[in-house]
Structure 1
Amino acid sequence: MESFNALLIEERDGKVSSGFVRMDESQLDAGEVTIRVAYSSVNYKDALAATGAGKIIRRFPCVGGIDLSGVVISSVDRRFKPGDPVIATSFDIGVAHHGGYAEIARVPGDWVVPLPAGLSLFDAMALGTAGFTAALGIVRMEENGLRPDKGPVIVTGATGGVGSLAVDMLAKLGYHVVALTGKESEADYLRELGAAEVMLRQSLDLTKIRPLDRARWAGAVDNLGGDILAWIASTMEQGGTIASIGLAASMSLNTTVAPFILRGVSLLGVDSGYIREPYRLGVWQRLAGDLRPPHLAGMARRIGFDELPATFTEFVAGRAKGRVVVEIGGA
């Protein structure tokens, strides 16, 4: 039986740690599709899980990595056959089911998506859960009536993985994108991605959020939550739509019903973790087409498998930007 390298997250005496181990296929979780992993990625969630900085892991031990792309080794699911290039992201991968930080992975067939034409296995992980989430938020807002001619769209947490990709995608679609960030030094980076304006978070007075403030945004992609989301709600245009994607600032929301009943604002929850077919494949197909970020290659950094621990530290410390792709087996 073939053995392989994996990054295993364990808990001992109440402390979470991660490290490289050798495993074999008998130690993998149940699933219909066994995949030779080519690439994975690093998300903030992965860093929290591997370092114990956040209570992400739901069972120990667990191989980390919520994203993976690779080639099918074997499958009892008739939708997939050996040699097929595939993507698997979200669901319980890397948190309650052995994930993508291993040279071989086994997952349920319903969690697997065929690699769309036009994307490479590397591209798929440059996008990963972050790209899928950003795209899903945009699709949901479009379904709610958002169009470029409706007005500006604000993206919060704009230098992060989801934020950077959302800026890039929205700009490509013709939206006037305003990037909100706390990192003044990254203003040029955001403009290169297509942001028409860069707004500094420090310029906002979040101690005085009105129920309704000056209307500014037709759409919003929010990665922060908390007072930022409350301020966004108060400054939405009539009929505006907000995609609530993250809680990097806070999971609390202290607001009023005024924007929703007086301006008809819609607050859309974006759950990329458990959305199923055919919606999931449809979003991936758009990521290979009109939603493919034009600056994807420039915002994606490739690291070796052995560089993962140091990269987790960058994410937890808030020093990461864009996307990090982990070369597991390559392709």
Structure 2
Amino acid sequence: MKTFKAIVTEEKGGEYISSVKERNIDDLPEGEVLINVKYSSLNFKDALSSSGNKGVTRNYPHTPGVDAAGVVEHSSDPKFVQGEEVIVTGYDLGMNTSGGFAEYIRVPSGWVVEKPAGISLKEAMIYGTAGFTSALSVDKLLKHGVTPDKGKVLVTGATGGVGSVAVAMLAKLGFSVTGVTGKADKADFLKSLGADEVISREDAQDTSKRPMLKGVYAGVVDTVGGDILATALKSTMYGGAVTTCGLTQSPELNTTVFPFILRGISLLGVDSVELPINVKASAWRRVATDLNVSEIGKLAHEITLNELPAYFEKILAGKVSGRIVVKI
């Protein structure tokens, strides 16, 4: 049996401990495609899995990692051939299926996307699930008629994985971007990505309880939910659109119907996990072309498998900015 290195999270005395261990390829789950992983990336969901969150991962020991980019080593599906560069994000990878924080994964062929030309394996993982979610959010705004000439756009949770890539993508497309962050020392970082303005979480959160505020934003990419999302809805201009993909502030949404029926705004949900594979492949091609940020590398900090356990704690504590790419 061929062995390989992987992060393994185990339950020990009521605590969940992650470390690098040797695993056997024969112990991987069934699937048509065996992939030699070259890069992965760190997402909030990975840290939840590593902490024993049963809403993410039911059974342990387990290898987290909802993202993987690598080279096909074997495929029983003729759609993929040995040596082909591929991407796997979402579905059950890293949740209840052995994930991308390992030298090998084995998955159903229906989860696998051919890496598009225009980005490298490393760049694909700098984007990862977070950047891919950003692309889907930006795409939804564009399809709902939000264009740079309509007015400025707001990005909440702007220093996070989804938010930071959204800021860069929107700035590339010519939008005037306002970023929201609770990290005052990261204003220069956001401006280096293209943000024109940076405001605090307090300034982005209305406490007046008024059902409507002055329309300021043509569009919003929200990554946090809660009262910040409710405030963004009240602050969106006539005919504008708001995307939502996260709940780090709260899953609750306390608002009224007034912004929807008096300004005709749209609230658009974004899911990057269970998309049909053909839609996912098309979206990845967009990431590699018109939504590709030429300087995406400056968003990333590269780490190794050995460094991952410490970064699980950092991301849970809100101490990570930009994207963490993992060299396997």
Q: TM-score when scaled to structure 1?
A: 0.96
* Aligned pairs, number: 328
Find out whether 1:23 has 2:23 as its counterpart.
yes
Match of 1:208 in 2: 208
How far apart, in 2, do the equivalents of 1:54 and 1:326 lie?
Answer: 24
CA contact (8 A) 1:59 1:95 kept: no
How far apart, in 1, do the equivalents of 2:225 and 2:77 lie?
Answer: 39
The AA in structure 2 aligned to 1:4 is: F
Match of 2:174 in 1: 174
Per-residue CA deviations over 1:97-146 (Å, capped at 9, x if unaligned) read 11001111001111111010011110011110011000011112212222
CA contact (8 A) 2:5 2:20 kept: yes
The AA in structure 2 aligned to 1:44 is: F
CA contact (8 A) 1:17 1:52 kept: no
SS at the partner of 1:203?
coil
Match of 1:320 in 2: 320
Per-residue CA deviations over 1:53-97 (Å, capped at 9, x if unaligned) read 684213333211010000000011121010000000111110111
How far apart, in 2, do the equivalents of 1:54 and 1:142 lie?
Answer: 36
How far apart, in 1, do the equivalents of 2:136 and 2:321 lie?
Answer: 21
Matches within 5 A, 1:1-331: 1-12=1-12, 14-52=14-52, 55-204=55-204, 206-328=206-328
CA contact (8 A) 1:35 1:106 kept: yes
Structure 1 unpaired stretches of 5+: none
Change (3 A) 1:149 1:204: closer
How far apart, in 2, do the equivalents of 1:19 and 1:299 lie?
Answer: 26
Per-residue CA deviations over 1:201-221 (Å, capped at 9, x if unaligned) read 123453223211100111100
The AA in structure 1 aligned to 2:106 is: R
SS at the partner of 1:63?
coil
Q: TM-score when scaled to structure 2?
A: 0.96
Structure 2 unpaired stretches of 5+: none
How far apart, in 1, do the equivalents of 2:283 and 2:181 lie?
Answer: 26
CA contact (8 A) 1:130 1:162 kept: yes
SS at the partner of 1:16?
strand
CA RMSD of aligned residues (A): 1.4
CA contact (8 A) 1:146 1:218 kept: yes
How far apart, in 1, do the equivalents of 2:121 and 2:220 lie?
Answer: 30
The AA in structure 2 aligned to 1:178 is: T
The AA in structure 2 aligned to 1:107 is: V
Identity of matched residues, %? 47
The AA in structure 1 aligned to 2:226 is: G
The AA in structure 2 aligned to 1:74 is: H
How far apart, in 1, do the equivalents of 2:212 and 2:284 lie?
Answer: 37
In the TM superposition, what is the alpha-carbon distance from 1:321 to its structure 2 partner? 0.4
CA contact (8 A) 2:150 2:218 kept: yes
Change (3 A) 1:168 1:42: same
How far apart, in 2, do the equivalents of 1:15 and 1:37 lie?
Answer: 28
How far apart, in 2, do the equivalents of 1:186 and 1:133 lie?
Answer: 22
How far apart, in 1, do the equivalents of 2:204 and 2:70 lie?
Answer: 44
In the TM superposition, what is the alpha-carbon distance from 1:274 to its structure 2 partner? 0.6
SS at the partner of 2:277?
coil
Change (3 A) 1:54 1:244: farther
CA contact (8 A) 2:177 2:195 kept: yes
CA contact (8 A) 2:241 2:265 kept: yes
CA contact (8 A) 2:47 2:316 kept: yes
The AA in structure 2 aligned to 1:161 is: G
